[in-house]
Amino acid sequence: MSKTLKLNGDEVEIVAGESVLELARRMGQEIPSLCHDPRLKAVGACRTCLVEVEGVRRLVPSCATKAEEGIAVTTANARIERHQKALFALYMTDNVDASETDDSSDPSELHALAERVKAPTTWPRMQHKRFQRADDRNPYIEYRADRCILCARCTRYCEEVESVSAITLAGRGAETTIATADARSLLDTTCELCGGCVDVCPTGAMTEKKPLALKLLPARKLEKVRTTCNYCGVGCQMDLNVDRTANNGRGVVAKITSPDAGVLPNDGNLCVKGRFAYQFIDHKDRLTKPLVRNQEGLLEETSWDNALQIAAEGLKKVAKRHGPDSLGFVSSSRCTGEENYLVQKLSRAVFGTHNVHQCAAT
């Protein structure tokens, strides 16, 4: 028999191992959360997902509470609403105004939730400024302390998912911040610039430098286009964030974000190339059409059919005159597994040589 618990009075089935937060969301309940990420160990630090469990005096974080048989959970009542309003009101006294959040890499989940729970916005703003460490010369990642809620998603991601541990919570109390050892540039740490910290940040405190510098945001006007990364054969899924109006209507990729955790094969993770090396898309040196040499030996544009025809004829001519082992095939590490397979087929089955290699194989 399946196990059940009571959720807001209704008997509901439990999926083995899930948290109260996961169960409630599965059942369509809206529970706010900021520090939660399914890839990370629950820490219950942001306090936004607190719920009531019957018989437990204090509110409990639903992210860190196992859905156990027989418990009775309430996700919305006057006490929880009062808590949410006051909590978000406090967050708002210690964060930037909602009007400033448009330039974040993603809309601030913090501000959206504050609005959703109708948190008071009139409480006096904190006089004390948050500690901001000095600028970091790395080209990609910027930390803006005045937007940070110290949920530690970035530092936990860096440690638990990437096993890199380049950043850490540092200091204490209201002076707590996100730091590197000795406040060095990310370039002088173990950081691999994967940008996962930017991706998991719910407030835009960790953000990408480039779109800010290019003034390509606000993010809300960007359209997400799902694609497959073409830097290697893994096939990571990623979202191009396209500003259709930019570049005289030709559009521009303003940045790249990860799909949600759970989207395979990369589970929302990207590497430095996938996340940040996208400017080739509109680069002036990028080849967008095939080139062949004309009678004078100069490269000129042609059609794919023609280019392939010329290449095929050339290869066949060499094979005929000098034998198949006079040929060698090297495919690019940017090819997918399927493409690499086709290259070795071309080499072995069509031309009959084992001279085939893939540049990522060594």
Question: What does the alpha-carbon distance between residue 183 and residue 188 come to, in Å, rounded to a whole number?
Answer: 10
Q: Distances from the Cα of 81 to the Cαs of 50, 78, 113, 202, in angstroms?
A: 10, 5, 12, 21
Cα dihedral 359/360/361/362 (nearest 10): 80
Q: Rounded to the nearest 5 degrees, what angle is found at the Cα of 109, between the Cα atoms of 249 and 266?
A: 75
Q: Does an H or E element contain 345, and which?
A: helix 337-345
Among 23, 31, 167, 252, binds another protein (CB under 8 A): 167
Q: Is 200 in the site for another protein (CB under 8 A)?
A: no
Nearer to another protein, 123 or 341 (CB): 123
Least Cβ distance, residue 198 to another protein (angstroms): 17
Residues in a beta bridge with 206? 143
Among the listed ranges 45-53, 295-303, 333-341, 347-355, the one in contact with another protein (CB under 8 A) is: 45-53
Q: Is 331 in the site for another protein (CB under 8 A)?
A: no
Residues sharing a CB contact under 8 Å with residue 115, sequence separation 6 or more, in sequence order: 98
Q: Is 93 in the site for another protein (CB under 8 A)?
A: yes
Write the DSSP symbol of residue 305: H
Among the listed ranges 9-17, 76-84, 136-144, 350-358, the one in contact with another protein (CB under 8 A) is: 76-84
| 50 closest CA partner among 40, 39, 37, 65 | 65
Q: How many residues line the site for another protein (CB under 8 A)? A: 47
Least Cβ distance, residue 228 to another protein (angstroms): 32
3-state DSSP assignment of residue 234: coil
Nearer to another protein, 34 or 236 (CB): 34
Nearer to another protein, 122 or 248 (CB): 122
Q: Is 97 in the site for another protein (CB under 8 A)?
A: no
Among 112, 181, 213, 312, binds another protein (CB under 8 A): 181
Q: Is 5 in the site for another protein (CB under 8 A)?
A: no
Nearer to another protein, 31 or 256 (CB): 31
Nearer to another protein, 45 or 327 (CB): 45
Give the footprint of another protein on residues 98-127 (CB under 8 A).
123-124, 126-127
* DSSP-assigned letters across all residues of 76-93: -SHHHHHHHHHHHHHHHH
| 304 closest CA partner among 296, 294, 312, 315 | 312
Site residues (CB under 8 A) for another protein?
43-47, 50, 58-59, 61, 64, 79, 82-83, 86-87, 89-91, 93-94, 123-124, 126-128, 149-150, 155, 159, 165-176, 179-182, 189-190
